[in-house]
């Protein structure tokens, strides 16, 4: 099938796209950050796959990386890695949640980010 | 550690990076988003509500007012913005592999046929506005669009989306159906249906639970989306499930009066409309055999949860393309059911975590507990899934 025949699926959902912040730039920055986070994790996971393969085989082979599926132990480690990096990037919001939970005085809720 | 999704014969293939992109979205949703949600609930009950009440002398229990107060802070804006972005990234991670493999997926869907179940599409069916006005859940293209001949894209996208989206998803993604059968087993232990209908089945992932629970029954499944149904049929054939799929509106089906002993739906109700929902209940009444049971599962109504959860629930209307969500959650569901023809004594409002059945006092007590939940309540509803049940006289 040539590119001309290839079916293009829509990427945008029909319906309003609400913006949360008074300045739309903040919404766009947020989307960039989360997307960046996602891609960073993907890259880190890929590196993890390479490292594991190198360790087990001693040879780097691109198709091996593509075919790599984590075993149960690796899946658990990688799940923890995902959480760890995510928590780092969103540290400030998570700290605010912790403040509220433990009633630690400091920032007013939601302010001064 | 979430159970991995079962890779049946119709699943879209994923390279390492595509799989990880989808897995990450699942983690962002299940882990990070639920932490934010717990944090904002703490903020509301420990800080924002007391401060508001101290300042104004009025209580802060109305969800629209709560929304106003919560959105004054940055935390909630980030939480809701994050929620929306994660939803968008989820579909982005799903659409690309489906698009690349679409010709192969369509070929596979044809090769899956082993004539266990059936598929009947109706190209002339007029699609109601409630499924075409917006793309529900922000799934690009929605549930009913067709992008090419024999298209199955919406179904292929939806199949992996369920597992990413639902925290309680099992490998077979049939949890919603099993919650219904577990409830029916507890309350109607002698139930042995010969014919079952699942309304708004999408790709039949919950319908599979009914096939498994009642292997003797003929199981039918209807939906409006042709690509969902084509995929659902191929998926069921791949999994060895005998299901009869057809493209029909639940408001007016082609089935004869008294055709079914059990009629179900899962989180269908809030995707319909003020006019459609009573029509669907009326249609269920017509389709049920004497003694037959209809059970529709959705989330609890607004007056069954605490004020903060009301605010969180109604956010769905604003941020996840759910136009009927809030309106539906204010309907008197028992009244709608009685108005549609069910006898009042045959109508039950119950919950998967309560299983009160005819014990109204037990159900009322559980609702009261849910309504008074405070700062430490978990992100999910303490009532579980909410059922509206009607038994045909």
pLDDT digit string, tens, across residues B61-77: 999 999 999 999 888 99
Say how many C-beta atoms besides its own lie within 10 A of residue B20's C-beta. 25
Q: Judging by beta carbons within 10 Å of its beta carbon (0-12, 13-18, 19+), is residue B267 exposed, middle or buried?
A: middle
B11 part of contact set with chain A, CB < 8 Å: no
Main-chain phi, psi angles of B391, to 5 degrees: -110, 125
Q: Following CA atoms A3, A40, B40, A106 in sequence, which dihedral angle do they give, to the nearest 10 degrees?
A: -150
Of B177 and A90, the structure prediction assigns the larger pLDDT to: B177
Residue B211 has pLDDT above 70, yes or no: yes
Chain B interface, best mutation among A16, A38, A67, by max B CB count within 10 A: A38
Kind and range of the H or E run holding B90: helix B74-111
Question: Where do the structural domains in chain A lie, given as residue ranges?
Answer: 24-102
A82 touches chain B (CB under 8 A): yes
Residues 20-59 in B contacting A (C-alpha not used; CB under 8 Å): 20-21, 23-25, 27-28, 31-32, 35-36, 38-40, 42-43, 46-48
Alpha-carbon separation of residue B171 from B3, B160, B163, B356, B379 (angstroms): 6, 11, 8, 29, 22
Distance from CA of B19 to the nearest CA of A (A): 9
Query: Which residue, among B1, B38, B77, B130, would best test binding to A if mutated, counting the most A CBs under 10 Å from its CB?
Result: B77
Among candidates A38, A109, A111 on the partner chain, residue whose Cβ is nearest the Cβ of B89:
A38
Six-digit token string for B99: 């698009």
Whether chain A has a CB inside 8 Å of the CB on B15: the answer is: yes
CATH number of B173-391: 3.40.50.150
pLDDT for residue A109: 44
Q: Which of A54-68, B173-187, B343-357 has the lowest mean pLDDT?
A: A54-68
Higher pLDDT, B197 or A8: B197
- Helix, strand, coil percentages for chain B (3-state, nearest 5): 50, 10, 35
| Among the ranges given (B163-177, B267-281, B299-313, B345-359), the one the predictor scored with the smallest mean pLDDT | B163-177
Interface contact B85-A34, CB threshold 8 A = yes
Q: Environment class of residue A3 by beta-carbon count within 10 Å: exposed (0-12), middle (13-18) or buried (19+)?
A: exposed
Lowest-confidence pick of A57-66, B135-144, B235-244, B295-304: A57-66
A83 CB neighbours in chain B (<8 A) are 27, 31-32
Is any Cβ of chain A less than 8 angstroms from the Cβ of B7?
Answer: no
Average pLDDT over residues A28-55: 87
- Percent of chain B whose predicted confidence (pLDDT) is above 70: 99
The whole-number pLDDT of residue B170 equals: 81
Domain boundaries, chain B: 173-391
As a whole-number percent, the residues of chain B with pLDDT over 90 amount to: 79
- Tens of pLDDT, residues B34-43: 888 888 999 9
Confidence of residue B13 (pLDDT cuts 50, 70, 90): very high
CA B339 – CA B331 distance, rounded (Å): 13
Which chain B residues are within 8 Å of A101, Cβ to Cβ?
38-39, 42, 46
Model confidence at A88: pLDDT above 80: no
Of A16, A41, A93, the CB nearest to B78: A93
Residue B331 near residue B338 (C-beta atoms within 8 A): no
Confidence check: pLDDT of B145 > 60: yes
Neighbours of B338 (CB within 10 A): 17
CB pairs under 8 A between A and B: 170
- Is there a contact between B386 and B182 (Cβ–Cβ < 8 Å)? no
Q: Does A95 touch chain B (CB under 8 A)?
A: no
DSSP secondary structure, B102-119, as one string: HHHHHHHHHHT--SSSEE
Residue A110 pLDDT greater than 50, yes or no: no
Q: Does the CB of B140 have a partner CB in chain A at under 8 Å?
A: yes
Strands B218-223 and B288-298, how do they pair?
unpaired
More confident residue, B178 or A80: B178
Q: For the segment B301-343, what is each residue's pLDDT rounded down to a tens digit? A: 999 999 999 999 998 887 778 888 889 999 999 999 999 999 9
CB contact under 8 A, A42 and B75: no
- The average confidence (pLDDT) of chain B is 94
B contact residues 300-329, partner A, Cβ 8 Å cutoff: 318-319, 321
């Amino acid at each position: 099938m040539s590119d001309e025949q290839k079916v293009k699926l829509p990427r945008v959902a029909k319906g309003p796209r609400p913006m949360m912040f008074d300045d739309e730039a903040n919404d766009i920055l947020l989307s960039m950050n989360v997307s960046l986070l996602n891609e960073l994790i993907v890259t880190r996971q890929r590196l993890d796959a390479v490292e594991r393969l190198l360790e087990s085989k001693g040879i780097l082979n691109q198709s091996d990386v593509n075919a790599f599926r984590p075993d149960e132990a690796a899946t658990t480690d990688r799940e923890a890695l995902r959480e760890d990096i995510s928590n780092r990037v969103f540290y400030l919001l998570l700290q605010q949640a912790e403040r509220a939970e433990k009633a630690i005085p400091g920032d007013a809720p939601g302010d001064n980010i | 550690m979430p159970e991995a999704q079962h890779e049946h014969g119709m699943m879209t293939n994923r390279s390492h990076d595509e799989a990880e992109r989808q897995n990450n979205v699942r983690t962002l949703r299940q882990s990070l988003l639920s932490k934010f949600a717990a944090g904002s609930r703490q903020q509301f009950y420990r800080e924002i509500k007391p401060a508001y009440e101290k300042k104004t002398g009025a209580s802060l229990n109305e969800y629209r007012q709560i929304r106003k107060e919560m959105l004054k802070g940055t935390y909630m804006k980030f939480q809701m913005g994050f929620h929306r972005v994660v939803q968008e990234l989820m579909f982005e991670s799903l659409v690309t592999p489906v698009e690349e493999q679409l010709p192969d997926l369509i070929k596979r869907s044809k090769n899956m046929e082993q004539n266990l179940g059936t598929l009947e599409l109706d190209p002339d069916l007029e699609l109601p506005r409630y499924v075409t006005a917006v793309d529900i859940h922000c799934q690009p293209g929605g549930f009913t669009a067709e992008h090419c001949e024999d298209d199955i894209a919406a179904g292929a996208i939806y199949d992996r989306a369920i597992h990413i989206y639902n925290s309680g998803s099992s490998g077979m993604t049939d949890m919603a159906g099993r919650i219904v059968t577990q409830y029916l087993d507890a309350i109607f232990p002698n139930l042995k249906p010969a014919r079952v209908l699942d309304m708004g089945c999408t790709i039949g992932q919950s319908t599979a639970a009914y096939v498994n629970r009642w292997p003797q029954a003929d199981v039918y499944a209807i939906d409006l989306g042709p690509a969902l149904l084509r995929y659902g049929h191929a998926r069921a054939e791949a999994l060895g499930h005998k299901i009869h799929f057809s493209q029909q509106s639940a408001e007016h089906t082609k089935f004869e009066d008294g055709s079914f002993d059990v009629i179900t739906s899962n989180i269908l109700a809030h995707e319909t409309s003020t006019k459609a929902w009573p029509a669907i209940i009326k249609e269920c009444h017509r389709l049920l055999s004497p003694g037959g049971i209809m059970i529709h599962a959705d989330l609890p109504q607004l007056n069954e949860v605490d004020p903060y959860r009301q605010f969180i629930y109604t956010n769905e209307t604003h941020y996840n393309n759910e136009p009927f969500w809030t309106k539906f959650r204010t309907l008197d569901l028992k009244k709608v059911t009685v108005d549609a023809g069910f006898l009042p004594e045959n109508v039950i409002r119950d919950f998967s975590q309560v299983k009160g059945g005819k014990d109204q006092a037990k159900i009322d007590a559980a609702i009261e507990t849910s309504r008074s939940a405070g700062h430490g309540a978990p992100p999910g509803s303490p009532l579980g899934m909410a059922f509206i049940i009607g038994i045909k006289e």
